[in-house]
Amino acid sequence: MIALTLAQLARIVSGRPVLVGSDTLGTVVSGAVDTDSRNIGPGDVFVAKPGEATDGHLFVGGAADAGAALALVERHIDAPISQVVVDDVVDAIAALARHVVGVVRARGDLRIAGITGSNGKTTTKNLLARILQDEGDTVAPRASFNNEVGAPLTMLRVDDDTRFLVSEFGASAPGEIARLAGLVEPDLGVVLMVGMAHAGGFGGIEATFHAKSELVRALRPGGVAVLNADDPRVSAMAPIAEEIGASVRWFGRGERAEVRAVDVEVTATGTVAAIVVDGEARTLRLRVLGEHHVMNALAALAAATSFGVDLDAAIARLEAVELAERWRMQPLGGDRVRIINDAYNASPDSMAAALRTLAQITARDERMVAVLGAMSELGEYAGEEHDRVGLLAVRLGVQRIVVVGDDARRLFLSAVGEGSWDGEAVFFSTADEAYDYLVTELRDGDRVLVKSSNSAGLRHLGDRLGEAFS
């Protein structure tokens, strides 16, 4: 974070300073800002956020012991640390983020990219950040820091040396992206797709469209909207961009995309795509597994070249990426049994893409095994969407469908109903039960996909299987 006096910080967040020791209103703070006391070091700012499981106010003393210079709190805590008391710490860090980014932008050459979409946000964020980091100091979210807390915390890592800020914007309800993107008014906004992820929270696919389009509306005048030409709902955001004075840059597989893939070959070691960028033909060799990641790479290339990055340099940096993010199409295991752990998150679209990748990389003499858990946040659409996944797994010829968790039972029943009734599909209530089955069932030549939403917890099952067969 940029340097601020305690008086300045208190004014920005509309808070009441309570000082201890030798601190005065002129004392300067400039450390990192975090809600996790375990990440706090000397000079940092600890945000005491109340949560569902615990209350950050319980850890103010621990943050002080770790050397924190300041705590943002909603009630004063008896601890040896200066505090700024605010009505709502989430609102406070948002106000602080808006101020910090605004100051840095006014002082120098900061460029801001925002990314949203029903799937692919984190992968695209990581790919774009990898391209930009060789151009200058780049700040991007850790993991999926894309909500009302994570996004401002990422923004607060910006300082006077930062040249690029890449923000990932997720949402589970209308208005959230508008609020977060409005803190920084991005120069460039990437919209990847509008799908069924979080449809339960939004209230349907059309409401999801309106929520994702909030990023386009938040662009600065003269900004760039990087839009998926293959998704009709994303394409429908072009008039919004024109309305606010932003230009549109298209990516996709179709002819109208300025950044497009014309041929894609998926292998067990990566994906090779023939691409065209503004009329220039190139070959892109991604190490990241999955044909669907080609679209994420195209989006990253479209954004990076909009910022003036050399095309060949951008491609070389993409080709150096071996893993987009832990638990996202992460190869594990060994030569005998190969595991793909893609269980950080799941939606109908990403589940289908992962299953198709499994089919594409499995040779005729190898066996496909899909370990599948529930997809969350689908609301009233949950039943039919789990049915679709079960049907797809059977139709792709997956020889073993291992369904885990009571919330995913309908997926199992759908697979059985489609024809996997003779032991091809099995169900377990817990990941431990599934693990005990799989360590005896898996055999040489198996390719195993582990896929579920984060809440299902199968990412840890994937890790265990990877270790068992390494």
Domain CATH number, residue 56: 3.40.1390.10
Give the model confidence (pLDDT) of 229-279 as tens digits. 999 999 999 999 999 999 999 999 999 999 999 999 998 888 999 999 999
Identify whether 173 is part of a domain.
yes
- Per-residue pLDDT, 202: 60
Residues 55, 99 within the same domain: no
CA 163 from chain center: how many Å?
Answer: 21
Would you say 288 and 277 are in contact if contact means Cβ atoms under 8 Å apart? no
What pTM did the predictor assign? Answer: 0.89
Residues 204 and 291 in one domain: yes
Do 257 and 115 share a domain, yes or no?
yes
Do 296 and 368 lie in a common domain? no
- Read off the pLDDT of each residue in 55-84 and give the average, rounded to a whole number: 97
Most confident of 173-182, 229-238, 316-325: 229-238
For position 355, what pLDDT does the model report?
Answer: 97
Q: Is residue 325 part of a domain?
A: no
How far is it, in rounded angstroms, from Cα 425 to Cα 411?
Answer: 10
102 and 228 inside one domain:
yes
Q: At 118, is the pLDDT very low, low, confident or very high (cuts 50, 70, 90)?
A: confident
List, for residues 53-67, the tens digit of each pLDDT value.
889 999 999 999 999
124 vs 141: CA distance, rounded Å? 12
312 is a domain residue: yes
Contact present, 415 and 387 (Cβ < 8 Å): no
Interval 6-38: pLDDT, tens: 999 999 999 999 999 999 999 999 999 999 999
pLDDT at 341: 96
Where residue 103 sits, what CATH number does that domain have? 3.40.1190.10
Give 203's pLDDT tier (boundaries 50, 70, 90): low
Segment 445-465 shows an average pLDDT of 94
- The domain total for the chain is 3
Last residue of a domain, one of 39, 57, 87: 87
Angle in degrees, CA 349, 352, 358, rounded to 5 = 140
Do the domain assignments include residue 324? no
The pair of three-digit structure tokens given for residue 288, joined into one six-digit string: 């990241």
To 5 degrees, how large is the angle CA 277–CA 282–CA 287? 105
Same domain, 83 and 97: no
Asked if 83 and 116 sit in the same domain, the reply is: no
In a domain, 390, yes or no: yes
Please count the helices (runs of H) and the strands (runs of E) in the chain: 18, 22
Question: Is it the case that residue 198 has pLDDT exceeding 60?
Answer: no
Asked if the structure places residue 159 within a domain, the reply is yes
Confidence of residue 322 (pLDDT cuts 50, 70, 90): confident
Domain extent, residue 443, equals: 330-468
- Over residues 442-453, the mean pLDDT reads 96
Contact between 306 and 414 (Cβ < 8 Å): no
Looking at 204-295, which runs of residues are DSSP E strands?
Answer: 224-228, 247-252, 259-267, 270-277, 280-286
- Which of the pair, 289 or 447, is modelled with greater confidence? 447
| Residue 201: band (very low, low, confident or very high) from pLDDT cuts 50, 70, 90 | low
User: Is the separation of the CB atoms in 375 and 382 below 8 Å?
Assistant: yes
Cβ distance 240 to 213 under 8 Å? yes
Q: Where are the beta strands (DSSP E) in 16-175?
A: 16-18, 28-29, 33-34, 45-47, 70-73, 83-85, 111-116, 138-139, 164-168
pLDDT at 264: 95
Task: Identify whether 27 is part of a domain.
Answer: yes
Position 30, amino acid: S
Does one domain contain both 170 and 315? yes
CATH code of residue 425: 3.90.190.20
Rounded-to-integer distance, Cα 61 and Cα 291, Å: 49
Whether residues 10 and 116 share a domain: the answer is no
- 447 and 416 co-located in one domain: yes
Residue 83 shares a structural domain with residue 113: no
Are residues 342 and 433 located together in one domain of the fold? yes
Beta bridge mates, 17: 84
Backbone angles phi, psi at 415, to 5 degrees: -65, -40
Q: Residue 467 is inside which H or E element, if any? A: helix 458-468
**Of 466, 456, 406, which Cα lies nearest the Cα of 435?**
466
Of the three residues 41, 64, 87, the one that is the final residue of a domain is 87
Distance CA 192, CA 120 (A): 7
pLDDT digits (tens, 9 = 90+) for 369-400: 999 999 988 888 899 999 999 999 999 999 99
Quick one: pLDDT at residue 199? 59
**Segment 315-320 mean pLDDT:** 97
Q: What are phi and psi of 148, to 5 degrees?
A: -65, -20
Average pLDDT, the chain: 94
Class of residue 42 by CB neighbours under 10 A (exposed 0-12, middle 13-18, buried 19+): exposed
Q: Is residue 133 part of a domain?
A: yes
Q: Is 48 exposed, middle or buried (0-12, 13-18, 19+ CB in 10 A)?
A: buried
Mean pLDDT calculated for residue range 59-85? 97
Element (H, E) at 201: helix 199-202
Last residue of a domain, one of 87, 116, 145: 87
Q: Please give the structure tokens belonging to residue 126.
A: 């990581």
Express each pLDDT in 135-159 by its tens digit: 999 999 987 788 999 999 999 999 9
Q: pLDDT confidence of 323, banded at 50, 70, 90?
A: confident
DSSP string, 68-113: -SEEEESS--SSSS-EEE-S-HHHHHHHHHHHHHHHHHHHS--EEE
Show the CA angle centred on residue 150, arms to residues 233 and 27, nearest 5°: 140
Kindly indicate the confidence band of residue 127, based on its pLDDT and cuts at 50, 70 and 90: very high
pLDDT, position 197? 59
In whole angstroms, give the CA distance from residue 219 to residue 215. 7
DSSP character at residue 374:
P
pLDDT at 196: 66
Which residues, in sequence order, are bridge partners of residue 341? 330, 450
Q: Is residue 200 scored above 70 in pLDDT?
A: no
